[in-house]
Each structure stands twice: as C-alpha cells, then as structure tokens.
Structure 1
Amino acid sequence: MTLRSLLTCVCLILASKANSQNFERVEPPFWWANMPVSELQIQIYGENVGTYRASLDTPGIKISKQVAVDSTNYLFLYLEIDPTVKPGIIPIEFKNSEDSFIYEYELRKRDPVEGRNQGFDASDLIYLMMPDRFANGSLENDNIDGLTETVDRSDPTKRQGGDVQGIQQHLDYLKDLGMTAIWVTPIFENNSPPDYGGYHGYAATDLYRVDRRLGSNEDYRDLVRDTHKRGMKVIMDMIHNHIGLDHWWMSDLPTQDWVHDVNKYGYTNFKGTVQGDPNASQYDRDKLVKGWFVPYMPDLNQRNELLADYLIQNSIWWIEYSGIDGIRMDTYLYPYPEYMARWAKEVIEAYPDFNIVGEAWTETVAHESYWQDDSANSDGYDSQLPSVTDFPLCFAIRNGLTEDFGWETGISRVYYAFSQDRLYHDPNHNVIFLDNHDMGRIFEQVGKDEDLFKIAYSILLTARGIPQVYYGTELMMGHENRGGDDEAWRQTMPGGWPGDERSVFTTEGRTEKENEVLAYMKAMNHWRMESEAIHQGKLLQFVTDEGTFVYFRILEDQAVMIAINTNEESATLESARFAEVLDSFSRVMLVPEGSNYSIESKLTINPKSALILDLHK
C-alpha cells in the first residue's frame, strides 16, 4: 500500500468515526434477527443527515426505501430483513457529494426465555399502579441531572420518588394478595417543566427510554422477568395520541404535519362519542382527533405514514425488548380510528398470544362496544382491538350503589349494563374496574360505606370480563384532601418510602381495619383464581327486584350464584325463582369461606351485602 493510500484509508476511518458520532439519535437503537415482522424503519437524526444516502451489502438485507423529509436533520431508512439473517452487525454506508462513512447497526439475538408475551384474559386479576406513587426502591435516582423535575414530598402535585425497583421489591406482596398481572402507568421519559407535574408519565419526551427517575430500560426488563418468575404478567401503558411538548421532536419536527396545528384545531372536545356517531359533524370529528389533549401534549398525526410506521414499530420494539404480555393503549378514541385498527392488527399478527386493551372512555354500552373487534358497526369499522375498558359497567356499579332503587336506577343500572352485552363481540374480554388513576376511589364514591364497598368488589370479581384493581384498594384507601383532583386519589403507599411511619406492606404496619379488608380481598382474589365458572362461564341474570339483584356464572358442571341486597334490611327471595339453575346442582359452598351451605325454599340475604355461592353437581 502506498503512503497516499494509507493516508486516504486513515482519513476515511476518522471520517467514519466523526460522522457516525454526529447521529444524535438512531431509533430503534437496535433490532433483532428472525423477527415476526420483516420490515424495519430506522429513524436517524443528526446534522444534515438528510443530505446523505445509505447503502449496504449484507446478504438477506436490502434497503427498500429511504426518505429525506422537511428537516434535513432526519433520514428514514426502510430495511427488508430475511428471516435467515443471523444476529450481528450491519455496516451501513452513508454518502453524499462530500464524504462517506460507515455506521454499524446491531441485530441482536432474540430472547429465548419462555413465558414472554403471553397475553392476559378473564382468568387474570390486574393490579394497576403509578410507579411514582407506589414505592421508592432507590433514593439514588430521585433526582437526575438533565431532568428538570425533582422529588418534593411536601407537594402531591410533584414527583414523590417511586420507581421500578420499588415495584420489584413488592412483587411478593402482590402475588400473595392474589394478583396475576400488573399494569404500570407509562414509564417513558417525561422531562417536563418543574411546574407541570409529569410524574404520571403521559407526556413522553422519549419513546425509547425509561424515565431515569424510575430506573433504566434494563431495570424495566428485569421487572418483567421477575414478575414472570412469580407466574404473573405485565401490561405496559402506551400513548399514540400525543407526546409531551418537550419531546425532542418538537425542537426540530421531521415534517410540518408531524403534529396537528393547535392554532388551527385548538384543543380536543373530549367527546369520544363522536367516533361512531353517524350524525357527527366534521368540525367535531376534527376537534376530537386533531385537537391537542392539553396545551402540554401536542397531538400526533398518525396519517403521516412515517410517523405511523414509527409508532407501530416502537410498540413491537418494547414487546420484544421487555417481554411484556399486553398493552393498555391510552386515549384510544382520540387518534385516527383507521390508524388504531392498523396498529392493533399488526401487533397481534406479530405476537398472536398477546393482548391489548384500549382506553375507551364513554358512558354508554353502544359507544363502548363500537371499539371492540368484530363489532357489528353500521359504518363497517372494525377496530381489531381485542379488549376495551368497560367504563359503562364502572359507572353502573358506582352510581347503582349510591342511588335509591328504581326501575332504571340503583342496582338496576348493573342489570341494564349486562343486558346490553349483545353489543360486544365478547364482553368477557372487557377490562372491568371500579376506579383508576383518573377518577375518585371507589371507597369515596360509595360514601365510605364498607358494606357497599364489599358489594362493589364482589361484582368486580364475579362479573364477566377481566378485573382490574387500583393500588390501595386492598386497604379500602380513601382520599387525601390535598393537591389537585388527580392527586387526591394518587396517594403514596405508606411504607413504600424509607422513613415512613408505618408500612402497609406488613401486617404490623396496617391498622386493624386495613388488615380486615385486605384479608377479605385476599380470600376473594384467591377464590376467583381457581374458579373456572368465573373465568369462562356464561352470565345469566334475573331482573332486579326491590333493591335485590341475582345473577349466575355457569360453566357445565359448576356455577356461581351472586345474590345482592342493597337494602338496609335483610331480603328474602323465593328459591324457586332460580330453579332453572339451582335444580342442576346438589353441592353448595359459601364464598370465600368454602363452608357447606344449604339452600332452602327461601333465600335470605343480609342487609347491604352480596351472598356468593359456589355450585357443583
């Protein structure tokens, strides 16, 4: 080799190192060989990278498309990867009229661990947590240089310091409680201004990074693995409707239409009923889909093909990277419905055992059922979404236990909610709940009445669907009168922080009433875990009568009878009324005690209580 050739080679190597380091971001940061999808979009961000064109010479991989956009600092590469390609490094050459360099992109080996991506169903009991509010496992990550919000436990609107490690440390508590799955509100980086309060996680500033105040990507993956080791599942919370105003895209948007124009469309009308409304105006549709959620949450335009591909691929990356079993998609009604259908379809096709629940906050069954897959919608829309959040049943329980009984009021509300199950493709796929992080806690909603609280919980565990329990419910947690509305029901768990006066994670740290309620819920949870009739049984109900309501869950040679009395006095029901079910069973046991029970000609139900009976042939 001549000296000139050697110098040229050295210069090319130096140029390669210098220019590859100009890539501020490459997303996804890596991929895997032998994935269930063949296409890979790589979003590259760096100074003037859009002026380069890429090429590669790796057998089994080809660049099918590369797209330069409005901002010259982006380049989008689309790779087609044959399933025979082995893990390793893909050298990609970038060249423009002035120079060239090599960027090495990594294809990793897929994780062979069994029990990943297994989905969730009606046999599960989901425990919902906000990581910032559940437990602080590491004080070292409370405040991070470069992330604006810091921990301030004197102010409930600020970060409290809970993290992924705190959840990990209490997995045995959750398993012992009878939970089979955990849903954690978003863990993505939310680098929000100090006065915003982005602890909730719904204003993402980086979709490929766990917020370092919650831990690292590796910490989250370890949480999933540790949860799986205990025979439990993990559901990840995602948001495709919006990002945070401080997302790194916002300082240099790839295209002018990457987010909707807030000056043109303003803010959303929050009327999810507009979708599926045959009489809705285009103005209202635009407000719902294109309006920003709040001033701090820019609304994403999923009709931009590059963005749609990016978001779908981001979901697949997290599923593959972490091993999660399901996704809860936030604000499902607000993006373009055709995009959400495409997203759900592609995710389920890639991971057939996976499950997705979409947050569809509407108050009527007709509007809720519109969003479940295979619903008979008159406009032909099929969401491809397996599961919806059953807000109508939630409201029916909450209102039905606090109203006087009437033809359409009181406990009749639950009867009418069940009576419309024909509108769902499969109501047993609905995620059912009494409360969550966006609404008042159930104990408060029933007037801090323990009897009504237990009736509500009995319905939750015996109704068709997949039950979700909000953290602290096992303590009959109420509200703290401080902070904003949201913070009132987003308390920290006592004992989750070093220095707390007591720990509700221990028997000694709980009050006598908390131990009593927790023991009741634990017994109910473990009973439900073993009841196939509850997991799979048909729901058969009898019309409400003077504040009482009876329904059954029936599965071949077993059934469960639920008899509810919302009155202040005992109620007596004629057993003959339920003969069509009761005559088929000879053994009866009281739930959750498991003791034998004898059904006489008249059935007595105690005041404000739910009688639950296990029936066997």
Structure 2
Amino acid sequence: MKKITLFLITLLFISALPAQAAVEKKDRLWQDETVYSIMIDRFNNGDRNNDIDANAKDPNVYNGGDFQGIIDKLDYIQDMGFTAIRLTPIFDNTKNGYHGYWVNDFYKTDEHFGSMKTFQKLVKEAHKRKIKVLMDFVTNNTALTHPWVKDSSKQDWFHQQQEISDWNNQQELENGWVDGLPDLNQDNPEVKKYLIDAAKWWIKKTGVDGYSLPQINHVPVSFWTDFSNEVKKEKKGFLLIGIPAENAVLDVNKYHGAGIDSVFDYSQNEKLRKAFATTNQSFSPINSDFYSSQKKAGLMANFLDNEYTTRFTNDIVDKRQFPGSRWKTALTYLYTTPGIPIFYYGTEIALVGGDIPDNRRQMNFRTEKELIDYITKLTEQRNQLASLTRGTMEVLYDKDGMIVYKRVYKGETSVVAINNSTESQKVVLTDKQLADNKELRGLLAGDIVRSRDHQYILIVDRDNSEIYVLTEKSGIKISLIVSLIIVYILVGIFLYFLIKRRKTNKIE
C-alpha cells in the first residue's frame, strides 16, 4: 500500500512539472558564452602601488586600472551573467602605452597592470566563477623602443618602414607600418617561431582560454594557419578571435579556413548601429546575408562598439533618443542571434565616448539598476536556453522596426519579438510558422500567448521586447485531475486500514 501511494504521489509531482523543460547544454561551447570586454587601464584601480606615471585626468596616458581591479569586480561581472572576459594586451609596453599595443617585451606583464603572479590569480579567480578568460595577443608590430628595432642582427625581423597608401591593397596592409609602429615580418621563420612560442608559453603559464588577435588582416593568412595549429595543441577548446582594423572588409571564410574561430564583423556592426540607434528602421539589411555567411564562415563575434569605435551611446544621443530603451532592444537582438556577443565595458551604464581616446573613458560603477537588471535577465535566458545559442534561426516577421524570429534546437523553440518602433505592434503567426495548439511563455515580462484558431497573436508595446519559449498549453490537465483523485482515494484507504489496525492492536 505504501509503495503504491508513493508511486502515485511521484506521478502527481511529475504531472505538475512544466510541459517543456530547457534542453540541457552539455559541454559549454564558445557560442554559449557572453563576453565582457575590458580595457584594463580604464576599468578599475585595485592597486595604487603600481600607479607609475598614472594620471587619471589625462586620457592619453595610464589612468591606473589593473589586474587587481578586475579581480575585485569579478563578482560584479558574474552577477550580470557574463561567462567570459576579454582583456586588452597585458604585455610590457613603452611609455604611455596604456592600451597595450606598444609592446616592449612579449614575456612580461606591464608593470602598471601588475605582476605575473597577480595575473595568474586573476585567471584562477575567474575560473572559480566559471568565467573564461580571453586576452589580446599582439602579432603585427612592436613599440619603437623594442630592443629588436636597434638590433643589427634582427633587421630582417621587420618590414622596411613604409606608410600604407592603399588600404585595399593586402600587400601594403601586411608590410606597412601602422601608426608609425615597426611592422613585424611574420614570413621570417625566426619571427614566426618567436611569436608562436610566446603564445604557447602564456597558455602554459596562465591557463587563459583564448586569444583575441588585433589587426588580424595586417598579418599573412599563412602565419595564422601555423599559429592556430600550434597554439590549439596547448589547450582543448582554445578560442581564436580575429579583430581586423576598423571598417576593414575581409573574406572571413579565408581566416576561418586558417583556424581562426571567429572574427569581429565591422560591416555587420555598422548595420546593427544604424538599425538600433533610432526607431522604425528595417532589420532587412542585418538579416540579408548575415546568417548564410555564418554557416560558411563559422562563429561570428557580434558587437555594437569596442575600443576602436565611437561608443554606440553617442549614436543614440545624436539621434535624440533615450539610451536605455535603444540599448535594451539592441542587446536583446545581440544576445539572441547566432554568434558570440561581445559587450564593451561601460555599456551597462550607457557610457558615452567619441573617437579614440574618448571612447576609452574610465569605468564608473554608479548604479544604473534598470539597464543592469535587464542585461541580467537577458544573460539568464541566454545561459539557460540552448536554442538561443545553438539553434537555427528563421525570421517570421520583419516590418518597420518590428521583428519576430525563432531559434530551434533539439525540440526546444524560442521566439524573440523586438519592437523597435514608436507604436505598439500586433503580429499574427500561423501554424505554418509555429506548431499548433501550444502556447508561448514570455520570459522577460511574463507574457503568455496561446494558440487560437491555428494562430498566435503577439502584441508588443513600443520599445519592448519579449523572449518566448514554445510549450504545451498550461492549465489544469485531465491527467492531473485523475492522478489527484486516485491519490486521495488511496490515501483514504491507507488511513482507514491504519486506523483499523490500531484499534485491533488496542483490543488485543
């Protein structure tokens, strides 16, 4: 009797569970991650002892940010749901090289940022929180003050000094000096070996999980083939993200074929900024050939701004729009479409900034609760729903700033509705687009849309978005009612015999 009752109670519990649970993500993939991108010097000053020649009021010199400052804010980053961080170069730089790109020594950390020991601690603390660590690895140039520049035995380690006159000429890009910096000759076997050995050394020494590669299009593709082959042997799942020069147009398939897993796409970035900086813009330019190119070229790094571009908030302000609303709709799209979202530090407070160095302002940790709460909700759904990171994508509706699309993965279907227009929008989806006789459960605002007459009618207010998951219709089920009745009857019978047995025992 007890076994039967226990079985039926278990059955009752199972019947009450949600009709469709999220598909489990086995073995985290890079497309499952959400990356918080940090310019080290401008993020957080955690150790005043390394503020050598730092001046927080001068945007062209070191401002004081360091490894310890990032360690101190790892919980802050984790609480927003981020699962990876990307760091600008950490190598020892020449005077005023706050950005990290004027390398003096490929085997030392910059003294302004902290010691090797502190950086190792940063990686370890990030991993404790299940946060992966990416760092920029510079391969195109060195600082003018690098010892090699004046070493007579290493003159063939650099290309002859020359300016780039034609930015569409690949040979000029690979051989020319950018911003007057000595351009490394990666075709030289000694240079190639040195850079690859250094890259492998940092993985062994620190345990980082990937490299972002600045000015990837200024370095021969043949070098990247050898680089990726060797570096990826050091750690399973090691990621290589290419960062081309701003506004560069390149064949991403070529770099993917060389072992580069992902590439920052500036052409897509331009379309995203135009679509979301103001309202009532068509999404068609974004969707035109982006997803078909992804299938060919692999995983894309999607972003709205970074350390090379003006801040997206500037675009919004220029259009006389409210930053909070525009950022919410833009991030909803960024987080729910194929690729790896790269989130530039300060976005959570809608930080403004023009051209370099204004776009690299110091982080301010004042609370912008509404936007941070929204970002946290988005990352929560992205981390839970495999369909949002691994699923196929199909646009179901796209008109005048309103878009609806679905992502499908292993039976899990998510539907994303974004209203970036000035009016409430009504969208009717048919049973040809979504399975009939089910319901859409909203995960951001809690909206529920049930199938009626073979249709789903979505109504989304202006400046609002919703992420739905397609499930069985909720409500009281016949199976649940029957299970309840049976359980109550059996519990009643059990109690009857229990009371009767006790009475019999008393008489005896």
TM-score by length of 2: 0.81
**Who is 1:44 aligned against?**
none
Q: Does 1:138 align with 2:47?
A: yes
**Who is 2:310 aligned against?**
440
- What is the letter of the counterpart of residue 51 of structure 2? D
CA distance in 2 between partners of 1:160 and 1:522 (Å): 29
- CA distance 1:573–1:543, shift in 2 (3 Å): closer
Q: Does 1:324 align with 2:208?
A: yes
Which of 412, 422, 441 lines up with 1:589 in the alignment? Answer: 441
Q: Could you report, residue by residue, the CA deviation over 1:81-124 in whole angstroms, capped at 9, with x for unpaired residues? A: xxxxxxxxxxxxxxxxxxxxxxxxxxxxxxxxxxxxx9960111
- What is the letter of the counterpart of residue 588 of structure 1? L
**Who is 1:384 aligned against?**
259
- How far has the Cα of 1:451 moved from its partner? 2.1
* RMSD (CA atoms): 2.3
Alignment of 1:307-346 (within 5 A): 307-346=191-230
**Who is 1:147 aligned against?**
none
- How far has the Cα of 1:158 moved from its partner? 1.7
CA distance in 2 between partners of 1:520 and 1:363 (Å): 30
- What is the letter of the counterpart of residue 559 of structure 1? T
Local SS of the residue matching 2:462: coil
- How far has the Cα of 1:555 moved from its partner? 1.1
- How far has the Cα of 1:399 moved from its partner? 1.1
Alignment of 1:120-139 (within 5 A): 121-139=30-48
**For the Cα contact (< 8 Å) 1:567–1:607, is it kept in 2?**
yes
Q: Could you report, residue by residue, the CA deviation over 1:215-236 in whole angstroms, capped at 9, with x for unpaired residues? A: 0111111110111111111001
Which of 363, 369, 374 lines up with 2:252 in the alignment? Answer: 369
Alignment of 1:240-251 (within 5 A): 240-251=139-150
**For the Cα contact (< 8 Å) 1:452–1:609, is it kept in 2?**
no
Report sequence identity in percent.
Answer: 28
Local SS of the residue matching 2:154: coil
- CA distance 1:167–1:322, shift in 2 (3 Å): same
- CA distance 1:567–1:527, shift in 2 (3 Å): same
Structure 1 unaligned spans of 5+: 1-117, 144-149, 275-283, 374-381, 495-503
**Who is 2:352 aligned against?**
478
Structure 2 unaligned spans of 5+: 1-26, 473-508
**For the Cα contact (< 8 Å) 1:523–1:592, is it kept in 2?**
yes
Local SS of the residue matching 1:324: coil
CA distance in 2 between partners of 1:574 and 1:433 (Å): 30
- What is the letter of the counterpart of residue 408 of structure 2? I
- CA distance 1:599–1:292, shift in 2 (3 Å): farther
CA distance in 2 between partners of 1:385 and 1:248 (Å): 30
**For the Cα contact (< 8 Å) 1:316–1:347, is it kept in 2?**
yes
- What is the letter of the counterpart of residue 444 of structure 1? N
Q: Does 1:266 align with 2:169?
A: no
- How far has the Cα of 1:214 moved from its partner? 0.4
Structure with greater proportional helix content: 2
**For the Cα contact (< 8 Å) 2:424–2:460, is it kept in 1?**
yes
**For the Cα contact (< 8 Å) 1:441–1:478, is it kept in 2?**
yes
**Who is 1:239 aligned against?**
138
**For the Cα contact (< 8 Å) 1:400–1:410, is it kept in 2?**
yes
Q: Does 1:609 align with 2:461?
A: no
- CA distance 1:120–1:612, shift in 2 (3 Å): closer
- How far has the Cα of 1:404 moved from its partner? 7.5
- What is the letter of the counterpart of residue 533 of structure 1? S
- What is the letter of the counterpart of residue 384 of structure 1? G
Moved over 6 A (4+): none
Q: Does 1:525 align with 2:379?
A: yes
Alignment of 1:75-474 (within 5 A): 121-143=30-52, 150-192=53-95, 197-262=96-161, 265-267=162-164, 269=166, 271=167, 274=168, 284-295=169-180, 297-361=181-245, 367-373=250-256, 382-402=257-277, 410-421=282-293, 424-426=296-298, 429-447=299-317, 448-449=321-322, 450-474=324-348
**For the Cα contact (< 8 Å) 2:204–2:234, is it kept in 1?**
no
Local SS of the residue matching 2:153: coil
**For the Cα contact (< 8 Å) 1:119–1:326, is it kept in 2?**
no
- How far has the Cα of 1:609 moved from its partner? 3.0
TM-score by length of 1: 0.67
Local SS of the residue matching 2:297: coil
Equivalenced residue count is: 439
CA distance in 2 between partners of 1:614 and 1:232 (Å): 27
- What is the letter of the counterpart of residue 178 of structure 2? F
Compare relative contact order (CA 8 Å, sep 6+) and give the higher one, 1 or 2: 2
- What is the letter of the counterpart of residue 436 of structure 1? N
